Amino acid sequence: EAFVAAVAAAKPLNAFLVETPDHALAAADAADAARAAGEAPRPMAGVPIGMKDLFCTKGVPSTAASHILEGFTPQYESTVSQKLWDAGAGMLGKLNMDQFAMGSSNETSHFGNVVSPWRRSDGGNADLAPGGSSGGSSAAVAARIAPGATGTDTGGSIRQPAAFTGISGIKPTYGRCSRWGVIAFASSLDQAGPMARDVRDCAIMLEAMAGFDAKDATSLDVAVPQWEAGLTPSLKGKRVGIPKEYRVDGMPPEIEALWQQGIDWVRDAGAEVVEVSLPHTKYALPAYYIIAPAEASSNLARYDGVRYGLRDLPDGANLQEMYAKTRAEGFGDEVKRRILIGTYVLSAGFYDAYYTQAQKVRTLIAQDFDNAWERCDVLLTPTAPSAAFALGEKNADPIAMYLNDVFTVPSSLAGLPAMSVPGGVDAGGLPLGLQVIGKALDEQAVLNAALAIE
Ligand code: GLN
């Protein structure tokens, strides 16, 4: 009830697109009833969470924060949300996000930006970006109006908003969480994961969300480990790699200092720290911004005004005009930009020059990580090149926005588990995140290193 009231009171943050108090309260009642009946509690019995609006939820509008999906109410539940309900959790509501998960500030939402609950302490009173695309999730957890929230991460959308708001979030290995019922952005990259106050809560939530699903062709048929039970802050016998290419030109001194602090912490926890090289890092961002739009342009072809949501059919219009009008009106500017980039790099004549090259770069980046794993168990880097920026600051310049993903995108291209954990604050008291990247399927090592830092 306290969380339901907090959601209702937090409207100025614009974190929730839909409130579903009955869903959350029913889960709490079910948990009470089970306890009264002497049943063993389920892992998330009665825990109220926020659900990113990229997840289809049965009978509850699901829009991916896009006008083109307004009026769409799924007849089915995504696998991940169903697993959370099966674990006993309840839904406080659907969370605002960047439209179709494209963005790093939550400003591409059709329903207005989310406002971070943080303020700088050193002057200026600007509203800050909560990060993106899971900006409703980060703001809700940071403002303590939800103990946890789902996020999705295609190129950093769990980790960067977690870093901007001083919370924790993990993108598991690609294939750990089913993509079934998650509105697609870039299918070879999209992964669901938890965002919560601390590492332990993330471990509990991830255990509930992960697992094989025959309905997702890229779902991994492997057992879900007991990550929470396996948590230990000792890194004795572990080697932590520091990739030298992440020391990018112009890195702000406070990010350097944060990184050094993280290195000291993992050393104090017993780890050996080694320098490693990921030589193709500088090509990751350009490759990502070819591959992700290419896949997006294909995935978004389904929004034709016939099957879902919005339809713009002026009097006398033919089918072609209906498609064109619906898509022109229904997609936001950033989504259109991605569709244009994607169709361009996939078109005959440019395919080999851009798309094929980007796929080759992707393989080289994955090989860089494979080579690094010969020398270390996890990698430690900053999550983002800065603290939260002000709303509007980067909105007019897409490239400046894309550059914010420089540290999160390489592990996405390689499908590796990666987590952001709070590591410190900048001069204005704003949170800064440290990122731990692990080997495929070794979420435990990622969680443990993050726990040592927390
Ligand atoms: N900011 C990146 C993009 O806009 C990542 C988004 C995401 O991970 N969903 O594509």
pTM over 0.90: yes
Residue 169 sits at φ, ψ, to 5 deg, of -160, 140
Catalytic status, residue 297: no
Burial of 357 (0-12, 13-18, 19+ CB in 10 A): middle
Q: Which of 391, 393, 381 is nearest to 433 (CA)?
A: 381
**Residue 104 Cβ < 6 Å to ligand 1:** yes
Which ranges of 183-301 would DSSP assign to H, the alpha helix?
199-209, 253-268, 284-299
Domain boundaries defined on the chain: 2-209
Q: Say if residues 449 and 266 touch (Cβ distance below 8 Å).
A: yes
Q: Which helix (H) or strand (E) holds 24?
A: helix 21-36
Residue 52 is a catalytic residue: yes
Give 382-392 pLDDT, tens digit per residue. 999 999 999 99
Q: Which of 104, 116, 133, 178 is catalytic?
A: 133
Q: What average pLDDT does the chain have?
A: 97
Q: What is the complex's ipTM, to 2 decimals? A: 0.97
Q: How confident is the model at residue 315, as a pLDDT?
A: 87
pLDDT at 180: 98
**Contact 109 CB / ligand 1 (< 6 Å):** no
Report CA(352)–ligand 1 centroid distance (Å): 24
Q: Quick one: average pLDDT of 214-222?
A: 98
- For residue 137, the CA-to-ligand 1 centroid distance in Å is 14
As a CATH number, domain 2-209 is: 3.90.1300.10
Q: What is the pLDDT of residue 249?
A: 82
> What crossing angle do the helices spanning 443-453 and 253-268 adopt, rounded to 10°?
100
Mean pLDDT of 46-63: 98
Q: Each residue of 409-427: pLDDT tens digit? A: 999 999 999 999 999 999 9
Q: How confident is the model at residue 244 (pLDDT cuts 50, 70, 90)?
A: very high
Structural contact between residues 362 and 289, judged by C-beta atoms closer than 8 angstroms:
no
Distance, CA of 92 to CA of 89 (rounded, Å): 10
pLDDT tens, 137-178?
Answer: 999 999 999 999 999 999 999 999 999 999 999 999 999 999
Task: Identify whether 134 is a catalytic site residue.
Answer: no
- The per-residue pLDDT for 250 is 85
Six-digit token string for 308: 């879902």
Q: For 203-216, write each residue's pLDDT tens digit.
A: 999 999 999 999 99
HSE, side-chain direction, 13 A CA sphere, residue 86? 12
Contact 255, 382 (CB under 8 A): yes
Let me know: does 338 contact 102? Beta carbons within 8 Å: yes
pLDDT value at position 123?
81
pLDDT at residue number 264: 98
Give yes or no for residue 431 CB within 6 A of ligand 1. no
pLDDT band at 314 (very low <50, low <70, confident <90, very high): confident
> With bands split at pLDDT 50, 70 and 90, how would you rate the model's confidence at 401?
very high
- What pLDDT does residue 424 have? 96
Q: What would the pLDDT profile of 91-104 be if each residue is shown by its tens digit?
A: 999 999 999 999 99
107 lines ligand 1 (CB under 6 A): no
* pLDDT at residue 224, rounded to an integer: 98
Distance of CA 185 from the midpoint of ligand 1 (Å): 9
- Nearest Cα to 385, choosing from 253, 258, 283, 251? 251
CA of 292 relative to ligand 1 center, distance in Å: 8
